[in-house]
Amino acid sequence: MSLTKAVCLPSSIQICRHIWTHFRRACATISGYRIMRPDDANIVGNVHGGTILKMIEEAGGIISTRHCNTQTGERCVAALARVERTDFLHPMFIGEVAHVSAEITYVSKHSVEVQVNVIAENILTGTTKVTNKATLWYVPFSLENVDKIVEVPLIEYKSNEQEIEGKKRYEAQKMERLETKQRNGEIIMPVISPEPFSVGFSQSSLIHLVGPSDCTLHGFVHGGVTMKLMDEVAGIIAARHCKTNIVTASVDAINFHRKIKKGCVVTVSGRMTFTSNKSMEIEVFVDADRVFEPEKYRAVSAFFTFISLDKDGKPLPVPPLKVETEEERKRFEEGKVRYLQTKAKRQTEKARQQ
């Protein structure tokens, strides 16, 4: 008597579920690389902070848009809503290769948190260094209706603690965005015959017409393009104040309050708010003007921190900022508080690592 062994084969539904789960997990990470060219850097070879921020945003935009389109229904594009404080840990130079990796770490009903790491590789020596770690928040908008926010697909968390911590970060950034929006009505006015090292002496602005190459599929400006323009203006202000080589040291949280449409004229304005012995804080605003509509609005705001360097790339003392008005003194004291808070936080983190 022969016996036939029964073999249980997975059903087509089980196979599809397995493939779909694997695809969803693959969409939760992304990596890429690019060699740094002369047009990415300043005159002494340091890669512009704005160039790095643009690469970071591109990676975040790709991974969040890809994830939000893993579900059936309306196609969408993820728009940058906020960038958390980002430190530039080490400089990057012409000829080095930037390795950018991004991972989705939390999702709410209508937003995606993306963690991005940047590593610089010297391809001649093989040495590598971490230059940036950034956290970005994206919101998906429908391709059919640009004002409609699409629901975000869920992700699988490694643990309950990871989800709980992610929710805490989501609530914290939501509150900070509201606070920033409420104090966002200031305008930078030109100063006639300003004194050296005063706020008016170094304040600068840049005007840019938004073209198709600056925009997403929706016809709105990429967040990375905006951040690059902001970094350029902040860099001009820092260079005017110090008259030396300067580099971006960090960027406080950048809040994107409203979208900027193709065809708009954007004015990027900045002013110095605080100086310590070796750093400068610069406040930057982005205002958008719809040329064919009677509307001008504040789209983005942020604080950039720069340091001054000598020919060997070592930090130089920063000339003290001359504050002349009550408003300037107030902004200086607020900047000092932010500086001391950041310094204390770094010391705490350093103590934990030891």
Residue numbers annotated as active site: 42, 231
Asked if 271 and 280 touch (Cβ cutoff 8 Å), the reply is: no
Adjacent-strand bridge partners of 149:
141
The Cα–Cα gap between 278 and 318 comes to 5
Picking from 97, 91, 88, 101, the residue whose alpha carbon sits closest to that of residue 125 is 97
Ramachandran quadrant class, 80 (left: phi over 0; alpha: psi -120 to 50; beta: rest):
beta
Name the packing angle between helices 223-242 and 49-68 (round to 10°): 160
Helices vs strands, H then E, count in the chain? 6, 12
Picking from 205, 202, 224, 227, the residue whose alpha carbon sits closest to that of residue 215 is 224
Q: Is the dihedral of CA 339, 344, 348, 354 positive or negative?
A: positive
DSSP string, 4-21: PPP--PPPHHHHHHHHHH
Asked if 261 and 225 touch (Cβ cutoff 8 Å), the reply is: no
The Cα–Cα gap between 315 and 329 comes to 26
